[in-house]
Amino acid sequence: MGRPLSESANPDGVDVIVLPGACSSGLTWSRVPGIEKMHVLPLPGFDTVEAMAEAVEKQLPATDRPRIVVGASLGAMVGLQLLQTVRFDAFIALATGFGIHVDTQVLDRIRESPEDVLMRTARSSLANRDAGDLLEIAVEDLRSRGRDVLISHLTALGSYDPKVPDELPETVVVWGSGDRSVPLEDHVSLARTMKGVLAPVDGAGHLPFLERPDDVARIISREVRRLCREN
């Protein structure tokens, strides 16, 4: 279930808790540089966001240190659900809206598809579909979890109806300008709902942390530095 969070780690800093997207083991986050105390927690293979959030919450330590949740796509929805019960000092949501529509025909095609479904899913997530080295990482990331988990995760994503948290953290919504899965207007809607800001990343699709890791690292680092100043 990812790198563990320990009570003794980072006693004076900021915990950055990354919740990857559907069917991700977190491998696509491996290129993001320079973020200390970044804990990648792959989502359990449940078919509801609520069940995933409940399981993830049990992995979080009780701490007085500032915490940032960084959620990608489905991970952002789990982050929103966590915000119903857990306080975070900042929320960074990537490749997502305030809820994500999943066409049932997409799920049917995945269930009926041959083995290349993971390859096609990974390719469609990249702004540059011919980026061979990045495509290899994206495919391996999905293969590490498998098609059954992909189906469960997309089922959860399509059925989730998020609610606005009572307490809104500082929020940044990251939009890859080449994202074919979630349109710009959905990212804008999330930013407005959370009273946050939109951070465009050029040359990235649905996986900006893989395609433009330096840009994503800068966005996260800005929030870390802000929290360090305030605390």
**Given pLDDT bands bounded at 50, 70 and 90, which one contains residue 6?**
very low
* pLDDT at site 2: 41
Cα–Cα distance, 117 to 110 (Å, whole number) = 6
Instruction: Write out the two tokens for 70.
Output: 């960084």
- For residues 59-72, average pLDDT: 86
Cα–Cα distance, 172 to 90 (Å, whole number) = 8
Is the pLDDT score of 64 beyond 80? no
- For residues 192-196, average pLDDT: 98
| Stronger pLDDT, 115 or 184, i.e. the higher one | 184
pLDDT (tens digit per residue) in 69-100: 999 999 999 999 999 999 999 999 999 999 99
pTM: predicted TM-score of the whole model, two decimal places:
0.91
Taking all residues of the chain, what is their mean pLDDT, rounded to a whole number?
A: 91
Half-sphere exposure of 229 (CA within 13 A, CB side): 6
* pLDDT at site 100: 95
Cα–Cα distance, 94 to 75 (Å, whole number) = 9
- For residues 95-120, average pLDDT: 86
- For residues 176-202, average pLDDT: 97
- For residues 114-139, average pLDDT: 90
* pLDDT at site 11: 40
The C-alpha torsion from 146 through 151 and 153 to 155, rounded to 10°, is: 180
* pLDDT at site 231: 74
92 in Cβ contact with 71 (< 8 Å): yes
Is the pLDDT score of 17 beyond 50? yes
Instruction: Write out the two tokens for 230.
Output: 């305030």
- For residues 4-13, average pLDDT: 43
